[in-house]
Each structure stands twice: as C-alpha cells, then as structure tokens.
Amino acid sequence: MSKITIGLNDRDGRANDASLSQSGPGIPDHAGQPIEVSNEEAKRIRAKFEAEARAKVKAEIEEQIEKPQRGSA
C-alpha cells in the first residue's frame, strides 16, 4: 500500500477501510496503558466528584425554590 496523501486526511498509513479511534470493535491500537490508582486515591476522587455533583444539584434546587418568590414562573 502506498500513501496517497500526507495532508489533513492522512491516516498514519492505515488502510482506508480501517476503523478510526473507538468506532470499531475492540481496543484501539493507540490505546495507552491503564493507570494504576490505589483504593484510597480512587475513594478521594470519587468523593470529590460526588461533592461537586451535590453542590450543583443543591444550587439548582435553591434556584427553583427562589423563582416563585421573585415572581418569575
């Protein structure tokens, strides 16, 4: 197979019928190594995301409660 282009449509020498990224089945050829994380670190990250999600929902609820009092429907 000879390369036809080296421009924006260049696909790193892959065949034209090869799937791109994760559009095909299986793990992509260019996938990186899995990241090793300790259980403590995973718990800390999960707690951070849960706290941020709770704060966002709380703010949305407070906004919905305030709307009728301000006269907007």
pLDDT tens column, 36-46: 899 999 999 99
Q: What is the pLDDT of residues 6-37, one digit of tens each?
A: 555 555 556 666 655 556 666 666 667 778 89
The residue that leads in pLDDT, 52 or 23, is 52
Decide: 28 and 22 in contact? Cβ < 8 Å.
yes
Distance CA 2, CA 7 (A): 14
Distance CA 55, CA 58 (A): 5
The pLDDT value given to residue 11: 53
Distance CA 8, CA 14 (A): 14
Distance CA 49, CA 56 (A): 11
Classified as helix, coil or strand, 3 is coil
pTM to 2 decimal places: 0.42
The pLDDT value given to residue 66: 82
